[in-house]
Structure 1
Amino acid sequence: MMSLHRRVALSAALVLGAFVVLTSVALEQAFRESAESARGERLLAQVYLLLGAAEEDPAGQLTLPEPLPEPRLGLPGSGLYAQVTDAEGAVVWRSPSAVGLNVPFRGALQPGERRFERRADATGKDYFVESLGVRWATGASPRELTFSVAEDLTEYLQQIRRYRTALAGWLAVLAVLLLAVLWLVLRWGLKPLRRVATEVAAIQAGRQERLKGEYPEELRLLTENVNALLTHERAQQKKLNNALADLAHSLKTPLAVLQSMVDQNVPAASPSRAALDEQLARMGRLVEYHLQRAAAGRAVTLSGPVAVRPVAERLIATLAKVQRDKPVLAAVEVDGAPVFRGAEDDLMEVLGNLLDNAYKWCRSQVRVTAARDEEGLRITVEDDGPGIAPGHAQQLLERGVRADETVPGHGIGLAVVRDVAGAYDGAVAIDRSPLGGARVTVRFRD
């Protein structure tokens, strides 16, 4: 799952990106409207210049002096064009810059009417056109005229591109600065959470027993509850260990006394001797099983990580001494340095039972493998013995069930392994090993 820091940073970056894009669109639109308005005012000023310079000759024709008030109007194709039309739309005067061009001037307007618009010619080229209707009272008889000034969009579009480039640069710089500030704010704001994670890791590693830092109000309830939970967990674990020790002492001693009395007072040939031995052995197995199950049923999730290889090698060395009359080639193969996140006693319980069974049933070879993946720790113990029939594998995970009654044991080893794995939300699987014997795989989920 994505970390909280990355999640908040990504969300903020997306919001900031959307804000920058929307801001750039809004600013560009505002600049376009402002630029168009400025163009209209400038073109209107050109219209007023033409009105001020226009005269009527003795023949009653409208004339404008040479040179014109705006030099661009006298240059063909300059981008600025002017035209005067009468009330019927006939051209009275046209600037030299518009010669040979089909500029889309506005038709006749009523006196006092003003129009500023964006118009396109027959080729699709756009122009800004400013038109003003006037009543020309100079001369023998008044008449209605429309003065129009047009400008192509070349300069306007260049201005928009320059603005867009500058805007993009400044917004990019602003976005980078805001992201840097946001990153610093996030690091400062999430610092208490990182400190909690560091302290929890220290508790797991055994370097401290509780959360010690001062935390903000929003985290104080969490840290206080974690400390209370840790204190309660240790007290309960101590109480349980003491109770188990007392129970083991209370039950094992009477059973040993009963077994001794049976050995001394009941002849081996007596018909009741076999039944007594069987029931006493069964009671011993049940006591052993329930004691180990109670101890295995509590996963210690805040214990420091336990390296698998040293524990496996230590158990193999012990078994090699116990069964020194049986030469066994034992190998430990691990991928990297896998660790068990739990109590070391639980790991020794699992590996001890599995290796004990493997040594009992193997011919000459035992192999232990361990590796971690995204789901947790996987430990496999296999041998080259006779193996376990597929239909019998699940039964061996039940208490008191043994593969061979002639081999010493209580029949609770695999059941204890199953219970320890279950306490860590894990599972046990039994199948055929490439070595020829049984392969038992235990998975512990983190």
Structure 2
Amino acid sequence: MKPGYSIRARLLLGAALVLLLFMAGAGIAVQRAHTDSVRTAHYDRLQATVYLLLAGAELDDAGRLQLPAELAEPKLSVPGSGLYAGIYNVDQNETWRSASTVGVEPPLVMRKGQPGEWVYDTMEAPNGRKYLAVTYNVRWSVRNRAAPLVLVVLEDQRGLKREVAVFARTLWSWLGGAALLLLLAQLLLLRWGLSPLRAVAQEIRRIEAGDQERVEGRYPDEISGLTENLNALIQQERVRQTRYKEALSFLAHSLKTPLAVLRNALGEPAELPAVVEQQVRRMDDIVQHQLGRAAAGGAARFAPAIAIAPVLERVREALGKVYAEKGLDFTIACAPELQWRIDQGDLFEMMGNLMDNAAKWARSRVEVRATREAGQLRITVDDDGPGFSDTTSVLQLHVRGDERVPGHGVGLAVVNELVGSYHGELELRRAPLGGGRVEVCLPSR
């Protein structure tokens, strides 16, 4: 047998993997969205700084740039503040830089473009430091002439990276904590959800130990079918064991009398052959009956469904050879698609005895009909013989309907016990043909 494994461990591992993948995907998506949002916000601030420069810039009569000593953005006046600006006067080949660029030398690259064009990108200094950059080209009108200007504003990316890093630490800390809490919750839920399985396993161990006879707890719908089938299997096995023990006990007890008769007959040699034949026949009847009781399959909940018609046809073929001299009209009415969950050996035993009994007593006709009615298998065997004079005693062992017809009085008794083992009913009545009718009804469960 292969080593077992834990369903809880498999479910927990699968849930953990799915949760971690989900958390990782969600975290990466949120972090990326936050980074894009922060970058857009920084570009918007840089664009606002460009508008601030446009508001403060002037051109004198010579077309030279004039900017106030103090700008509305304080960072542009603080050296190394991280925010840098420059204006390039194209016609005058003149460049203005903010006071914040002193000692820093940021890469204020003046990219010429179409007037009114905004350019958002990054620039890298010779020392490897990177900057967010916004470039704007404008055509400035001064006394009926246009002066092209290029404005560029830079911001050190370290501020952006710090903001993104702080958010990332916070995000992954919360996501990690949430993942641990969810895993713990899943563990508790799995433990609670799988508790019925543990209870079933404990009950089975108590059944094996002999402390209880069946699964007694009430369980969810998903496993109630399993517990019901377990109880049915346990009950079926116990019935079978009981039947075996009873059959052996009855067999031993029933054989005592024939053996005693044979022992007494040893003293009378003249009567010995007749006594031996009689008692051997009787012992054969007893053995057949007890073996039939012991071999009864019982309610075949776990047996596969078998077709009924082929079994009836095979029994009819065999009986046609046995009773060929009677020339019986043997008819069978059974749909080819009719199937039932029953042990095939039990069905052969039932129908063999019933159809043999009908053929034995029939004058010319035997009719067999098998149908499904209201969730039951109903089988009727009719003959045109004399019928049953006593519908109760003929179901007992060694009781025959007519001593003039050869037989042992075993068949109907065996069938009655087989039908009872399937929780069915067997009835004897008058047939429409004028003879006897045997009707068997077997429930589906």
2:146 to 124, 142, 145: 142
CA contact (8 A) 2:59 2:66 kept: yes
- CA positional deviation for 1:104: 4.7
Distance in 1 separating the partners of 2:85 and 2:106:
12
Distance in 2 separating the partners of 1:12 and 1:254:
72
- CA positional deviation for 1:159: 0.5
What is the percent sequence identity of the aligned residues?
A: 43
The answer to whether the aligner puts 1:45 opposite 2:48 as a matched pair is: yes
Match of residue 352 from structure 2: none
**Which stretch of structure 1 is more off in the superposition, 87-96 or 217-226?**
87-96
1:173 to 177, 188, 193: 177
**TM-score, normalisation: structure 1:** 0.53
Please tell me the residue identity of whatever aligns with 2:51: Y
Distance in 1 separating the partners of 2:56 and 2:256:
125
Distance in 2 separating the partners of 1:206 and 1:156:
73
Match of residue 16 from structure 1: 19
Match of residue 73 from structure 1: 76
- CA positional deviation for 1:96: 2.4
Match of residue 4 from structure 1: 7
Match of residue 188 from structure 2: 184
Query: 1:113-262, aligned counterparts within 5 Å?
Result: 113-139=117-143, 141-244=145-248
Q: CA RMSD in A?
A: 3.2
CA contact (8 A) 2:87 2:150 kept: yes
Please tell me the residue identity of whatever aligns with 2:60: D
Match of residue 287 from structure 2: none
1:101 to 101, 105, 111: 105
- CA positional deviation for 1:58: 4.1
Match of residue 369 from structure 2: none
- CA-to-partner distance for each residue in 1:4-37, whole Å, 9 max, x for gaps? 1111111111110111111110010000000000
- CA positional deviation for 1:161: 0.9
- CA-to-partner distance for each residue in 1:80-127, whole Å, 9 max, x for gaps? 111112447955211122245141534112111011112223333211
Please tell me the residue identity of whatever aligns with 1:63: Q
2:85 to 79, 82, 87: 82
Distance in 1 separating the partners of 2:92 and 2:171:
44
**Which stretch of structure 1 is more off in the superposition, 27-36 or 87-96?**
87-96
Question: Aligned in 2, Cα 1:32/1:89: closer, same or farther, shift over 3 Å?
Answer: farther
Please tell me the residue identity of whatever aligns with 2:210: G
- CA positional deviation for 1:254: 11
Distance in 2 separating the partners of 1:119 and 1:211:
76
Matched position secondary structure for 2:217: coil
Please tell me the residue identity of whatever aligns with 2:226: L
CA contact (8 A) 1:55 1:62 kept: yes
- CA-to-partner distance for each residue in 1:383-440, whole Å, 9 max, x for gaps? xxxxxxxxxxxxxxxxxxxxxxxxxxxxxxxxxxxxxxxxxxxxxxxxxxxxxxxxxx
- CA-to-partner distance for each residue in 1:300-357, whole Å, 9 max, x for gaps? xxxxxxxxxxxxxxxxxxxxxxxxxxxxxxxxxxxxxxxxxxxxxxxxxxxxxxxxxx
Question: Aligned in 2, Cα 1:106/1:211: closer, same or farther, shift over 3 Å?
Answer: farther
Question: Aligned in 2, Cα 1:68/1:155: closer, same or farther, shift over 3 Å?
Answer: same
Question: Max radius of gyration: which structure?
Answer: 2
Please tell me the residue identity of whatever aligns with 1:190: L
Distance in 1 separating the partners of 2:255 and 2:97:
122
Distance in 1 separating the partners of 2:226 and 2:110:
75
Distance in 1 separating the partners of 2:19 and 2:93:
57
CA contact (8 A) 2:131 2:155 kept: yes
Match of residue 63 from structure 2: 60
Count of aligned residue pairs for this structure pair: 263
- CA positional deviation for 1:182: 1.9
- Mark the runs of 5 or more structure 2 residues left unpaired by the alignment: 263-445
Matched position secondary structure for 1:118: strand
Question: Aligned in 2, Cα 1:46/1:240: closer, same or farther, shift over 3 Å?
Answer: same
Question: Aligned in 2, Cα 1:88/1:242: closer, same or farther, shift over 3 Å?
Answer: farther
Query: 1:276-295, aligned counterparts within 5 Å?
Result: none
CA contact (8 A) 1:82 1:148 kept: yes
Distance in 1 separating the partners of 2:8 and 2:91:
73
CA contact (8 A) 1:104 1:121 kept: no
Distance in 2 separating the partners of 1:155 and 1:242:
92
CA contact (8 A) 1:86 1:108 kept: no
**TM-score, normalisation: structure 2:** 0.53
CA contact (8 A) 2:86 2:108 kept: no
